[in-house]
Amino acid sequence: MSEAFEALTRLVAAGDVVVLSGAGLSTESGIPDYRGPSGAARRHTPMTYQVFTRDPLARRRYWARSHLGWQTIARAAPNDGHRAVARLQDAGLLGGIITQNVDGLHTAAGATGVIELHGRLDEVTCLDCGNATGREELHRRLSEANPGFDAQVAHVNPDGDVDLPDEAVTGFRIVDCGLCGTGMLKPDVVFFGETVPAPRVADCFALVERARALLVLGSSLTVMSGRRFVLRAARHGIPVAIVNQGVTRGDGYATLRLDAPLGATLSALADRCAAAPAPV
């Protein structure tokens, strides 16, 4: 093993580590990331909250694309990286898990108490009455409202959106809230132009400030939503370790940096650290 891996092992084995994960952790589950080597740059402008709520045509395009993309997200299963994080938590080495992902794979792998910074794609909320439903129920209703709708999907984004030409979504029918009957439905995720709930951000900052180290997994840290926790850790003199394929905007703050595949690296890390007695 490399010297950097040995240093990472010592850091994690000491315990009280907070994990911050990004889309790169889920690529081995078949969900491409945005910027890493297994992903691609966005081909279309990301949906914003303002456009989603104000433009019926844009909302129809979003739900048509997301309806197809959800099938990929729903089939995705936790990979070795997710399972390794859960093993580290079971071994008592983690002080918390923060994820920028909306795929729910940390929890599916057995991790508990995960703070899902940007929400979860498998949950849907009515913006009028507040009713929450599961995404599978919405998928069933959209399928019934659009029999035979099936377009060729070339690329699925980490948020479940896909790339489709406008003509492919012509005629797609969206559905309203099944409880109040007229409410606008939105996936329970934070769109661009929308802010992460303040209490959730405060909980993340509190975790980071109590940590002995911050471990960033599979995030380019391009957006401030995740990078702010690296900045907070650095400001408090808390070591920051980054495991990611490709450069990140947090590299200048990292005390330890590994450019390596997440699944194999984290599995080896868990084998080494989880076998040792938990720190007192």
Please report, in range form, the residues annotated as the binding site: 100-103, 126, 129, 177, 180, 218-220, 244-246, 262
Structure tokens at 3: 């010297």
Rounded Cα–Cα distance for residues 183 and 275 (Å):
51
Residues ≥6 apart with Cβ < 8 Å to 4: 256, 257, 258
Neighbours of 199 (CB within 10 A): 8
Binding residues for NAD(+): 100-103, 218-220, 244-246, 262
Binding residues for Zn(2+): 126, 129, 177, 180
Rounded-to-10 torsion of CA 14, 218, 120, 213: 20
The gap between the terminal CA atoms of the chain, to the nearest Å, is: 27
Q: What is the DSSP string of 155-192?
A: -B-TTS-B---GGGGTT------TTTSSPPEEEEE--B
Contact 31, 23 (CB under 8 A): yes
The catalytic residue among 118, 139, 155, 236 is 118
Rounded Cα–Cα distance for residues 101 and 119 (Å):
8
Contact 264, 271 (CB under 8 A): no
Task: Name residue 143's amino acid.
Answer: S
82 is catalytic: no
- By annotation, the residues acting in catalysis are 118
